Structure 1
Amino acid sequence: MSRQLKKKQQQTTAQRLDSIIKSARKIMRKDKGLSGDLDRLPMLTWIMFLKFLDDMEHIEEERAEIAGKAYRGAIEAPYRWRDWAADEGGITGPDLIDFLTLDVAGRPDGTRGPGLFAYLRSLRGNNGTRGRKDVIATVFRGLANRMESGYLLRDVIDLIDGIHFDSSEEMHTLGRLYETLLREMRDAAGDSGEFYTPRPIVRFMVQVVDPKLGEAVLDPACGTGGFLTEAFVHMAEQADTVEKRDVLQSTSIFGGEAKPLPFLLAQMNLLLHGLEAPKIAPDNSLKVRLSEIGEADRVDVILTNPPFGGEEEAGILNNFPEDRRTAETALLFLQLIMRRLKRGGKGRAAVVVPHGVLFGDGIAARIKADLLTEFNLHTVVRLPEGVFAPYTDIPTNIIFFDTTKTTGDIWFYEQPKPNGRKKYSKTAPLNFDELKPCRDWWSAREENEQAWKVHGPDLIETDKAGRVVGCNLDLKNPNGSGVIDHRTPLEIVDSIETKEQRILAIMGEIKRTLSEMA
């Protein structure tokens, strides 16, 4: 039986992966070096990352052999998964722990040399260009082995060897597993305001923003890389020549992610989808002083769901103007996004924000006024409750803006609640087809039961000195009844006066009746 046919038969379904991971976690609970999922999840992830890399390089090696070309993987013997992990009777116990953690250790081939982590952290790309080796080195600089028992670790490795990363669907399966474990970790780690963006929302945002090949796409808080992966796939359809594929690989996708675990998963996600050397910075994107961001740092497209509600250290806040410093992380990221967009109509953005950003006063109002007066905020999509379940029930919105002009009319579109239910949930999530009416409306806009528009400059409130004191974007749908009022303002006022007169007349009749009864 060929290796490819064998792998096809062993494709890792969601049910099988779930069973493997449950068994691995059960084993890891016995290890004294791991105190909970905060320790277990990173361990599982880097182990799966190395298995994933070896699977991917196996496929690339086979393709090169068919094409009659030489192939050299990023990881060389005896450090490849197939060299030390794939043999169930291979290195184990204290020897396995030493091989992983020591600077110099006994290796599976019987020689001595750098330990696995020391080797991986030392990898460097060729010719000064960032490649897959640099990605691997960056990933493992933020990771460590925490298991104390090499025998238990060998059992976990044998289980993970049963996972086969041969398709993007298997990567999505792993992503869904990560989401589940992340939710379990929140009680231990605290709610930092971060949550996974559902794939239907990611797809919708990418489709309507429509990044073009040759444009630079950024997610400054990329998490597991959902937006960047979707954007890469979207642009890959346009890369029909060798030259265009080179552009796609080298100058298209950029991100930032400060936390080691999602950073690792973002690398896995993008590598699996075909991006050979993801340019994801393992840093807090807010660490750069806003005033120092210049034209060379700007990009064409920003797609993101930044964390909200968190708190940043004083050093981060000092990177922002004194009258724009806030504890709301979402507002800090919004300022960063505004600064990172290319000027002159070349930049556009789609950003998920919580309701609090829309109605907030004070600093929030000043930042929103900046958005309206310096950018074209053209669309706000209001999402129903439960879209981000189970991570949060906080209502959210997607704001779309560009650098073509200052804001004129702002279109609002209210995504309806699910039919027959009060809200979306983990077990009954939003699906992509439910966003089709909004996608159809996007290019042929008119007011309807879900859509209305307002004049943006009218939303900015100032005091007598001209200082911004309010800018409320939390506007209710005036067409929720399904009937659009096409009357002029004067006609509406006349109608209100008529109704008030009728009410006064009825109140007079009631008073007279009560007087006669007294």
Structure 2
Amino acid sequence: MNNQEIVQKLWNLCNVLRDDGITYQQYVTELTYLLFLKMMKEKAIDDASLRGTIPEGYQWDDLMQKEGLELKTFYQKLLIELGTSQNEKLQQIYADASTSIVEPKNLEKIIKSIDALDWYNAKEEGLGNLYEGLLEKNASETKSGAGQYFTPRVLIDVMVQLVDPQVGERCNDPAAGTFGFMIAADQHLRNETDDYFNLSPQQAEFQKNEAFSGMELVKDTHRLALMNALLHGIEGPLKQGDSLSSNGKWMKDYDVILTNPPFGTKKGGESVSRDDLTFGTSNKQLNFLQIIYNGLKANGKSRAAVVLPDNVLFESGIGAQIRRDLMNKCSLHTILRLPTGIFYAQGVKTNVLFFDRGVTDQNNTKDVWVYDLRTNMANFGKRNQLTMAHFEDFMKAYVTEDRSEIQNERWNKFSREDIAKKNDSLDIGLIADDSLSSYDNLPDPIESAEEAIIKLQQAMDLLNEVAEELRVVEEVKVVVR
């Protein structure tokens, strides 16, 4: 049985919990509690240093010995015990843990089903890969809501490959999610160093304990990220908290930043609470963009790749000021216009910005190359997924020493001067849409004009109604006086 089959079996166990009213997200969290115990047992067989991770009396075999109500009572006690453990990682994974499982028989069935899986082959393929497969499965289920802005693994791999982290570099994701970018960066380096066996002991220790870091706001997601990191042998700083608050100020001077920040505005519309950002705005992604380019080392070698929605490219006011600051401090050399439908929230239009931090804070961007992977592309979604083949032409253009040699209508250059003439708007590089090239596909101008008149009339009627209501209120106030 391979990992994909194991993931499917684990996922099918969710049906056992339907009567308990458990959501997909709750189920994955519940599985994390149980899988960690089982995986620690499996890993300790090969690594003696892990045998004391779980306290005596609260290990996987202790769960297996109990049934019914006794099992549920013991499980509840176990969660509390591990959540107050002296082991920091253990404490973080089980912090404020509680079970959503109501029926003891359901808990018993899940534990026994997990124990019966083919763990020998799971270890051969990698327990971390198994867990990541489970997270991806959760994100792909639209009912779970977890994948609303889930970054497709193929896109993560493209970004990591092009940014090309090196051994000894400090990498970071300030919007860590389940830590997918850092795990991909770690795997990228393992592939190039024979799983770190080509490194000195000091270098291997750095990769394990310092090379990869991040911060995640949501507690349950942070729990999943910790589990994911530990199962992949990554023990760098992975903190729970708001990167847009003062708690995120520890993240600075990185060689590489890879991330897909959350979209939207802060609740209540308030500005970010960090005092080390030049421009205050309630727009989360604009604040994250500032954190990212200011978080890179100013050495001319540090670099970033970040997924951002379209509005970051053209928003005026503070948005234009932040883009100008970015292009001054960094060489914004490449923008990849992504197709729609690759995120599970349909219609979200996104881009990847690639930039390198300069040594100085002025005039670092000279030319911006834009690759349009959006226009005239197939509709992507759950049935038609994005693959590495879709990125081949872009990746070839990206790494070519003389980019002007690439003859591809999707690949275009814009000078810094041309961008400045457009109020530093980066909403550029989209090619002609074939669906609009035919006159038959264009909207009827008379119908469009009539529709606009109707909408304007409706707006006028609504305004007149509001004005009339305000007049009535004023008349009532006069009578009362």
Q: TM-score, normalised by structure 2?
A: 0.78
CA distance in 1, matches of 2:79, 2:284: 34
| Cα pair 1:267 1:278 within 8 Å, conserved | no
Aligned partner of 2:79: which letter? F
Residue number in structure 1 paired with 2:102: 148
Aligned partner of 2:67: which letter? T
Residue number in structure 1 paired with 2:320: 365
How far 1:281 sits from its partner (Å)?
0.6
Say yes or no: does 1:244 pair with 2:203: yes
Evaluate the alpha carbon distance shift between residue 371 and residue 362 of structure 1 in structure 2; reply closer, same or farther with a 3 A threshold. Answer: same
Instruction: Name structure 1 gaps, 5 residues minimum.
Output: 1-10, 62-69, 102-114, 125-132, 463-469, 482-518
Of 74, 94, 105, the match for 1:99 = 74
Residue number in structure 1 paired with 2:62: 84
Residue number in structure 2 paired with 1:452: 412
Q: Deviations over 1:152-194 (max 9, x none)?
A: 211222222234342244334313222134x3133xx9xxx95
CA distance in 2, matches of 1:231, 1:479: 35
1:249 partner SS: helix
Residue number in structure 2 paired with 1:354: 309
Comparing 12-21 with 430-439, greater Cα deviation is found at: 12-21
Residue number in structure 2 paired with 1:178: 138
2:336 partner SS: strand
Aligned partner of 2:259: which letter? T
Of 40, 46, 53, the match for 1:59 = 46
Residue number in structure 2 paired with 1:302: 257
Residue number in structure 2 paired with 1:474: 427
Evaluate the alpha carbon distance shift between residue 285 and residue 306 of structure 1 in structure 2; reply closer, same or farther with a 3 A threshold. Answer: same
Q: Deviations over 1:192-242 (max 9, x none)?
A: x95111111111111111111111100111111111101111223333132
Evaluate the alpha carbon distance shift between residue 40 and residue 249 of structure 1 in structure 2; reply closer, same or farther with a 3 A threshold. Answer: closer
Of 4, 14, 17, the match for 2:4 = 14
Of 251, 258, 261, the match for 2:220 = 261
CA distance in 1, matches of 2:46, 2:333: 45
How far 1:252 sits from its partner (Å)?
0.2
CA distance in 1, matches of 2:265, 2:113: 37
Of 122, 126, 149, the match for 2:84 = 122
How far 1:246 sits from its partner (Å)?
1.1
Task: Please show how residues 270-309 of structure 1 align to structure 2 within 5 Å.
Answer: 270-275=229-234, 277-288=235-246, 293=249, 297-309=252-264
Residue number in structure 1 paired with 2:444: none
Say yes or no: does 1:26 pair with 2:10: no
How far 1:314 sits from its partner (Å)?
6.9
| Cα pair 2:255 2:301 within 8 Å, conserved | yes
1:341 partner SS: coil
Q: CA RMSD in A?
A: 2.8
Residue number in structure 2 paired with 1:72: 51
Residue number in structure 2 paired with 1:44: 31
Residue number in structure 1 paired with 2:347: 393
Residue number in structure 1 paired with 2:380: 424
CA distance in 1, matches of 2:6, 2:22: 26
| Cα pair 1:451 1:477 within 8 Å, conserved | no
| Cα pair 2:266 2:282 within 8 Å, conserved | yes
How far 1:283 sits from its partner (Å)?
1.4
Evaluate the alpha carbon distance shift between residue 402 and residue 20 of structure 1 in structure 2; reply closer, same or farther with a 3 A threshold. Answer: closer
Evaluate the alpha carbon distance shift between residue 152 and residue 478 of structure 1 in structure 2; reply closer, same or farther with a 3 A threshold. Answer: closer
Residue number in structure 1 paired with 2:153: 199
Task: Please show how residues 205-216 of structure 1 align to structure 2 within 5 Å.
Answer: 205-216=159-170
Evaluate the alpha carbon distance shift between residue 315 and residue 417 of structure 1 in structure 2; reply closer, same or farther with a 3 A threshold. Answer: closer
Residue number in structure 2 paired with 1:130: none
What fraction of aligned residue pairs are identical, expressed as a percent? 28
| Cα pair 1:417 1:423 within 8 Å, conserved | no
Task: Please show how residues 329-340 of structure 1 align to structure 2 within 5 Å.
Answer: 329-340=284-295
CA distance in 2, matches of 1:210, 1:363: 32
How far 1:478 sits from its partner (Å)?
5.7
Residue number in structure 2 paired with 1:157: 111
Larger Rg belongs to: 1
CA distance in 2, matches of 1:120, 1:245: 29
How far 1:364 sits from its partner (Å)?
1.3
Evaluate the alpha carbon distance shift between residue 383 and residue 180 of structure 1 in structure 2; reply closer, same or farther with a 3 A threshold. Answer: closer
| Cα pair 1:214 1:248 within 8 Å, conserved | yes
How far 1:300 sits from its partner (Å)?
1.0
Aligned partner of 1:451: which letter? W
2:244 partner SS: helix
Say yes or no: does 1:229 pair with 2:183: yes
Evaluate the alpha carbon distance shift between residue 278 and residue 161 of structure 1 in structure 2; reply closer, same or farther with a 3 A threshold. Answer: farther
Q: Deviations over 1:40-72 (max 9, x none)?
A: 3422332223323322223324xxxxxxxx763
CA distance in 1, matches of 2:94, 2:353: 36
How far 1:78 sits from its partner (Å)?
2.1
1:297 partner SS: coil
Q: Deviations over 1:84-142 (max 9, x none)?
A: 23x3xx212332233233xxxxxxxxxxxxx3223322333xxxxxxxx4222111114
| Cα pair 1:286 1:316 within 8 Å, conserved | no
Evaluate the alpha carbon distance shift between residue 71 and residue 146 of structure 1 in structure 2; reply closer, same or farther with a 3 A threshold. Answer: closer
Of 80, 83, 91, the match for 1:137 = 91
CA distance in 1, matches of 2:11, 2:247: 42
How far 1:437 sits from its partner (Å)?
1.8
Residue number in structure 2 paired with 1:129: none
How far 1:16 sits from its partner (Å)?
4.7
Aligned partner of 2:383: which letter? T
CA distance in 2, matches of 1:120, 1:322: 38
Aligned partner of 1:27: which letter? V
2:340 partner SS: coil
Evaluate the alpha carbon distance shift between residue 478 and residue 415 of structure 1 in structure 2; reply closer, same or farther with a 3 A threshold. Answer: closer
CA distance in 2, matches of 1:412, 1:91: 60
Aligned length: 415
Of 410, 414, 426, the match for 2:372 = 414
1:317 partner SS: coil
| Cα pair 1:298 1:341 within 8 Å, conserved | yes
2:223 partner SS: helix
CA distance in 2, matches of 1:280, 1:363: 31
Aligned partner of 2:54: which letter? I
Evaluate the alpha carbon distance shift between residue 247 and residue 353 of structure 1 in structure 2; reply closer, same or farther with a 3 A threshold. Answer: same
1:368 partner SS: helix
CA distance in 2, matches of 1:99, 1:315: 44
| Cα pair 2:173 2:182 within 8 Å, conserved | yes
How far 1:305 sits from its partner (Å)?
0.6
